[in-house]
Every structure is written in structure tokens, then in C-alpha cells.
Structure 1
Amino acid sequence: MFTALSTAVEALKAHYTTSNPISHAQHNSRLSHLPAGNTRSLLSYPPFPLCVRSAAGATITSVDGAAYTDFLCEYSAGLFGHSHPVILAALRNALDNGVNFGAVNELEGELAAALRARFEIDKIRFTNSATEASIMALAVAKVYTGRKKILVFSGGYHGGPLGFAGGVSAPHNIPHEYVIAPYDDIPRTAAQLSQLPPDTLAAVLVEPMLGSGGCIPASIEFLQYLRTAATELGAVLIFDEAMTSRLHWGGLQKKLDIKPDMTVLGKYLAGGMSFGAFGGRGEIMELFSGRLTHAGTFNNNVLSMAGGVAAGLLTAQILDAMNVLGDEMRVKVEGVLEGKTGGKVGISGMGSLMAFKYSGRDEVETGLVRELMFFHLLGEGLYIAYRGFMSLSIVHERSHVDAFVGAVERFVKKYGEMLRE
């Protein structure tokens, strides 16, 4: 089976290469200027990444002129689809009035009030990304508690320097004193916490559903345990809802009725502009009223603020409809895959966020299965993350979902028998 799988993948890659000569040539040119030919590692894959020239609605168009239905949606940041007219109008108006004021502007207070009300946060501050928001949330938690240890979880990802894939701290992570526990495992997490010296845990940083880690939801019991443990230990519980805030109007914390001390936000909340935010209990956030400073040239940049205010076009009803469509898509894909790939391809997630799960006898075979699906879907005109992540936008319709399910059906028909061997 390994030989047949490898041959099938190479055939798909060969077709991809011949179909995208301009993307290929531009990649080779970028290698002279950028390590690995890119400046965002997640977007790179062999033999070369697709290069996109334009986007509108639910469609992206490559430099080679091919159109793809976008099921990646900027790793969940593209909740409004591409070039939403309301957001574009707000951005053009902002540009007309000037950028980079070097001063407080009118829009930041309006956006802060809207987000504070939606997520029931006492006080909030803005950053350029959710990565920065996670960094600042941990920093203020350490100052607030006077402690240093941070509990995080295997598979967690909170930005470039805060990744814990495989249960280890990435070599370029910020050098906090991490305690890395298994995700959604109460007994083993409790065992690790019990071994900590008293009064040393500053914060618990957790995604209510792993994003980069495979769209794996935590059980409500696990999150309730973390809430109780953090309270008992005097630590700050931080929910990273940069992704999961789109799964309910008030985030998963509202849906599950579990209140963290602090929340990290980002992604789609500025309508596609660079944005992050962190906030929480007033007594924690008030440290920025005097004791702590939080600088950042572009924290309140007018494009992100304008995009965020325009993103107020989103309602709970629109969000719910998108998540219902996502659940339908995941259930349909799961039904197509069930028992037909030898367990080598599955799907997990919640609402509008989901990811394929790949497995094989070893890492090499698992990688080939992932590439088989990825390049098959590209050949069908469907764009997802190389690792298998997918998200929907509010402009996706049932016809888009039906087309995706049909492509997975053709995948099973063409490769299912080979994968079951």
C-alpha cells in the first residue's frame, strides 16, 4: 500500500506543478530573498505553495488564473469572506481620513465597548495579533500573582512563540516556566498540579477547543476542573478564544457557562485586519492604569479599528447559521469517510471550525495520506490548509458545502480501497 500511496501522491503533485507554473516560478524567485521562500511558515508546503492574486466572496484566484472555493478562510480570521462591501467601505473611509495618527482615535473606544459587551469582559486592551495578546495576558498574570509558572497543554498553540505541539515547548518559545499537561485529561493534569510547590502557578492558558492542534474540543468537565483548580491555587485562568469566539456569540466560555479570569481574542474581530485583544477582570486589567505600561505603535491603528467597528454587521443569528452549516458539513463528511479509508482519514471539530485527522503506520505514511487529501481537493478547486484545517465564513452557502462533500466522495471512490489495504 505504501508504494501505491506514494505513487498516487506524486501523480497529484506532478499535476499540481504543471498546472501552476507561475506560482512555481515565483516561489523559486522568492527563495533568493526569503528563507524557505516565504515569511509565514504555515503557508509553505512541498513542492511549492499556491500563490494567490485576488479574492472575492468565497473564492480565491491564483496567479495562474485558477479559482478555488476557500475553505481555509485565513485560518478562521476570514469570517466575513473576502472583500465584504461593508468592511471595504469602512476601510476606504478610514484611508480617506488619514492613517497613523500617533494619537487616540474615536473608533477604539467604540470597538472596545462593543467587544466588552459581547464577551462580558470588565476591561480590554488591543494588540496587533492574538499572539501579542497571549504574550501580554501571560505577562500581566505573572505580575498580578507574583508567580512564574504557566500551565499549558499538549497540542496548544497561542501564537508563534507559544506552541506546544507534541507536548513539548517549541525551541523558540518565550522562556516561561511551563508546566505542560495532556489536553482534556483531568487525572494527569491534577497529578502535575499536585507536584507544584505552593504559590508558584501564575496562570492556566488553554484553548476551549484546540485550533492548530486539530480542532479537538475539550470536555466541559475538563474546563470546569481548570476553573476550580485555578481558583483554589490562586492562579489566573486564561481562555484563548482567538478562534473559538466564533463558535458562539459570547465565545465558548458563554456557551459552556465557564467564566475565565482573562480572555484572548483576535482573528476575525477586525474584519480581516491585523488585530488581537486581551481582557478580563477589572482588578487585573487596572494594572495598566498605572503600574504597567503596554505600548504598541499599531495597537489602535485606524484600519483595524475601522474594520472592527464595521465587523459589527455580524449578529448572533448570522453566527449561529454559519456554525449550523459547519456542523452539517462535518457530519456529512464524517458519514462519507466512515469505514471507507481504513481509519486513515477522519474529521473533528465544532461548528464552523474543523480539521481532517490523518493516520498511518508511521509518520511518513501519515504525511502521505495528508498530502493525498490536500492535493486531491486542490485539484477539485477547493482550498484548505495543508495540515487539514478548515473554517467557514458567513458567505459560504449550502451549495459550497455540497461541492466539498462531493469532492470527498470522489476521494473515497478513487483512493478508499488503496487506503484500506
Structure 2
Amino acid sequence: MLKRNFTEEQVMFRDAYRKFLHEEIAPYMEGWREAGIVDRQAFRKAGEMGFLMVWPEEQYGGLGDDDFRFEQIIIEENQYALTGDWYTTLHSRLVGPYLKRFGTEEQLQRFLPDCVRGDTILAIAMTEPDAGSDLAGMRATAIDQGDHYLLNGSKTFISNGINADLVIVAAKTDPVNNPRQIGLFLVERGMEGFERGRNLKKMGKKAQDTAELFFNNVRIPKANVLGDPTRGFSHLMEALAEERLIAATEFIAAAQKAFDLTLEFVRERKMFGRSLADFQNSQFKLAELRAELDMQQVYIDHCVAAVNEGSLTAVDAAKAKLVTSELLCKVVDEGVQLHGGSGYMDEYPISRMYTDARVTRIYAGTSEVMKILISRDFLQQDFKPFVDRL
């Protein structure tokens, strides 16, 4: 594979984070999967080591380095260590930056230091039972009452839903006159009328707590409005490119891990007096996957460079999310097949990776929605041959 571009500091960061996962996270993952939730101490330990949030300025407790490659390393190492159920990036780089982009200085000072330390765990609540990829279909409302907003509605499939202390909730602020007008609201643990439902049982990612949230006349003070309460939809769209790059970075890393597990297995497994790796079928299957993995890794690394430059488009991120999720599902499926009966047993990691992977073609926008976004982009433009676009 072509050489990847990380700084010396980032290489040292990777070594330290890999050691942290090996010592503080990996030994407890099985217990957390059985419990259906990660112990809050995992967030605090990561915060103590400076691994939870890298980007916040030093005045808020972070390192003040917004280079996405630090989060890329965290995402990759979690997949390589099989600790991806602990979705620390959801807290650190998916939800946290909403505070940076749209928060007031008072909100940053009030919330960020505890988020960096891991004392406050973050979640974001957009999805509803009848509104997933189509955010305009949401029914939750937040009505201006003068000195506060009154929040009502429910959300579902919310990651970190049980652990979260601070939830960014999307709700309509003028449902009668402008049903597409959405605001974002900071809902804190303990607010009257804010309740959590079940910790939902899922096909995969067992240690990630995923919950229903309910809001019954929750009074949201104006100090907890995030950004412009009439421009929440735009706020969400502004963050989507990086969010989908986060997903794509996770998916390609998981696919790399699944390939390694499969390659190791076929080298050791014997059949008819030969290793599975000696059979042409195994070689051709793995060669095809190896080529696709290397090609997509290059694209993801280019997208990382683009997000650091501020030039990553929503369409380019949608392409990354689409192809990496589809490839991951292909790699784990081939991995199970090449493992044979062993691939169906949970004692082999490929089995768990297979069930974990299925949701990747759904969350952060389904594969079908990604295809709509990509096709709209080229269909709405005047046609130009590829050579004329260079």
C-alpha cells in the first residue's frame, strides 16, 4: 500500500493510544458487551490521558489541535483493537464540534472542560420513529415561550443514549407556519420532563448503549439554545460532511481488520493437507479485497486532507461513506465464508464483525440516500466530460 501521511507527533500519539486501549479498554469489552453499555470510567480514563478530545483549545482542557488525523488514528486503533463498540468518536468529534461551531463562549466554558475530562458524555438526538434520513419528517417541537423553549417529542436509536449527560436535540421551532424550521437544544441530565426509555437490544455493536429518549414539556432556557433556533437544519447540514468522513474512516479501518483476521485464518487452516491460502479460490478472493481496500484507503486519506483544508464537500463525503460501508460488508461476508463453520462462532472475531457491520449501510445516511445525493450532484450540473473537469 502507498505510504500514508502522519506526522512524527501523530505516530507517537498512535503508539500511546494503542497501549491505552490494550491496557484500559480491551480487557473489559466483553463484560461491557454483556451489560449492553460501556462503563463511564472508560471516558474518564481517556480524558485523563488526553485521548477523549484533542481539538478544544487549551483553555478548555484540550490540546488545541484540530487536525483530523488525530481522530483518524483513534478511530483506526479502536477498530484494530476490536474495541469499536466504545464509540468514543461520537462524543469527541461527531457531537463535540457542534459546540465549537455554534456554541456561545458561555456554553463553551460551561460544557467543554467536563466533556474533555470525560465527566460529561455527549449524544445527539435527531432520529425519530418516523424520521430517519429525512430530517424534515421529525415531529419533535420546541416552542418559544419568551424566556425559554418548551420541548416535546421523542427520539430513538440514540447512541450514548443511556450514558449521555448532555444531548443535542433537534426539534421544529415553528411547526405550523414553517415545518422545515429546526432548532438545536442542549438538554442536560436531570431536566424535568426528560426521560430515557429502553437500552435497545441490537444485532451488533452490543456495548454501545442505544436508547429511546422522551421529552415532555421540558423547559429549555435560552442559554441552552445552540446556534440560531431558526437555522438548525443548516447547522446539521454543515456538520454532515465531517460526520460521514468519520463513518467512512471507521468502515475502512474495520474492513482492514476483517481482512487481516481472514488472512491469518486461511494461512493456518488446513484442508486436504494444504493451507486454505494455497487454494486459488482463497488467493483470488483475497487479492480482489486487498486491491479494493488499498484503493479506498487512498481516497479516505485524501478526504482527511481535504477536511483539514476545509474543502471536503458533502458529496465527496457521501461517496466515501457509500463505498466504504459496502466494501466492509463485502469483506466481512467473504471473511465468514473463508472461515467456514468457524466464522459462525462468536469465539472468532469475524463473526461479531459481520453482525456489527450490517448497520453501516444504514446509519449516517443509508446507502440509498448517499446514491441520491451523489446522483443529484452530477445530474444538476451541465454535462462535462471527465477530461474537461481536470
Shorter-chain TM-score category?
A: under 0.3
Q: Where is the helix percentage greater, Structure 1 or Structure 2?
A: 2
TM-score under structure 1 length normalisation: 0.25
- Return the structure number with greater relative CO, CA threshold 8 A, min gap 6: 1
TM-score under structure 2 length normalisation: 0.26
